[in-house]
Amino acid sequence: MADYTYLVDDIIQAAENEGTEFVDYVPKMVNRAEERLTRDLDDYGLVTYTSVAIPSGNNQVTLPSGTRILKNFNIVANSTRINLLPRTDEYIRDYWPVSASTGTPEYYARRNNTTVLIAPTPVSTFNGEIVHVSRPTTLASTTPNNYFSDFCYDALFNASMVEAMIFQKDYNASNLFEARYNQALESLRNQARRTRRDDMQAPASPAGADNPVILGSN
């Protein structure tokens, strides 16, 4: 299986450049490629489910570290899991202008890179779950494998080569690797779409009918 050392060697050989300046810059190329994949890739493998406890009277929730995309926010109220509805920061402030007033949360909005605003302000402590996309641990000699190296190697390599060719000011080659990256990315997206389609076609309950999640029921 490809790892960080394999990727670095692959980049150096493909670029035909063993110069010190180039080799020293390769880790930054890989880092930029990983960041790009995190933005571009819509894949189940990057989705994380993080449990949170929301204290009474607190209308702001801290996002899990490294969150890039917030996909869903749900809470448990009266043993039932409820999906909060996404809204804008302005909508929530207009809807619930007095944050000291409390109720059962219905809406959420990403306020900034680290915080989510919810409304109404919780009347009691709620347990919840944040569904988010986070960047995998950055590849390095000490962390030689991650999701990208294990499952998205072609896209990772070609995105790295785009950076390598820009570094070498070979813009024709950069365009070539850009096209290859987009092809690899589309293949990964198609695979994710097929997975979603299969999940949607699977019965939601043993009887094959919709079955809302009721926690604590038998």
Residue tagged 């493998």 (tokens): 45
Nearest alpha-carbon partner for 89 in 115, 53, 55: 115
Q: What was the pLDDT predicted at 196? A: 59
Q: Look at phi and psi of residue 169 and say left if phi exceeds 0, alpha if psi is from -120 to 50, else beta.
A: left
Q: What is the mean pLDDT of each run of 10 residues along the chain (218 residues)?
A: 94 97 98 93 80 96 90 93 95 93 96 94 96 90 95 97 98 98 93 65 42 36
The pTM assigned to this predicted structure is: 0.70
* DSSP β-ladder status, 102-103 and 121-122: parallel
* Contact (CB, 8 A) for 145 and 119: no
How far is Cα 146 from Cα 54, in angstroms, rounded to an integer?
31
For residues 62-92, b (16+ Cβ closer than 10 Å) or e, as one string? ebeeebeebeebbbebeeeebebeebeeeeb
Q: What was the pLDDT predicted at 42? A: 65
Q: What was the pLDDT predicted at 39? A: 86
State both tokens at 101.
Answer: 């007033």
Q: What was the pLDDT predicted at 110? A: 94
Please classify residue 156 by burial: count the beta carbons closer than 10 Å to its beta carbon, then call 0-12 exposed, 13-18 middle and 19+ buried. Answer: buried
Partners of 83 in the β-ladder:
74
- Phi, psi at 130, each rounded to 5°: -105, 125
* DSSP β-ladder status, 60-62 and 121-122: unpaired
How far is Cα 131 from Cα 63, in angstroms, rounded to an integer?
10
Q: What was the pLDDT predicted at 45? A: 73
Q: What was the pLDDT predicted at 43? A: 66
Name residue 88's amino acid: T
